[in-house]
Amino acid sequence: MKKPIVGIIDTLFPIFSRWVPLQTFRYLVCGGGNTVLGLLAYFLVYQYWFGRQLVDVGFFAFKPHMAALFVSSMVSFSIGFLLNKYVVFTDSNLKGRIQLFRYFLSFSFNVVFNYILLKCMVEYLHWPAMASQMLTTVLVISMSFLIQKNFSFKISKNS
């Protein structure tokens, strides 16, 4: 599956090559695709799987939008890790389990970072929610790229 994905992305790259390096372009395409997949998963799970009903897991009942967020985050996490490992940051020589653990840490950080930014912009600065979410998305994606490149999938000097 890696070859067709890389082939399609690299075929489109010459159009954008004067603005961004290949690795950044791959990250943008993979991240954009993963974002769309996460939103689609959220919609389908929220609408059809949970049917807009409370989700009782025995010890806690989740509101349907939070349960859908949890499921879509698991989808985004899994696909995002695989795309980053095998398409974007292929030069990393860290062991897969180290990459996975670091990716989990960065993913968790990004979720908290997104929540804090959105809460501050909407609830304290009284900015419109959609504009706040768009700005937050740009900031989180930018931060995420730097974290992935320099932490989760960095090239170790010891190998």
Residue 159, pLDDT above cutoff 60: no
The count of domains in the chain is 2
Assess whether 99 and 71 both reside in one domain.
no
Q: What is the pLDDT of residue 60?
A: 77
Predicted TM-score (pTM) of this structure: 0.81
Assess whether 58 and 101 both reside in one domain.
no
Residue 158, pLDDT above cutoff 70: no
Assess whether 71 and 7 both reside in one domain.
yes
Nearest residue to 109 via CA among 135, 67, 77: 77
Q: What is the pLDDT of residue 6?
A: 94
- The boundaries of the domain holding residue 122 are 93-159
50, 86, 95, 101, 143 from 150: Cα distances, Å: 38, 16, 15, 14, 11
C-alpha 27/C-alpha 87 separation (Å) is 8
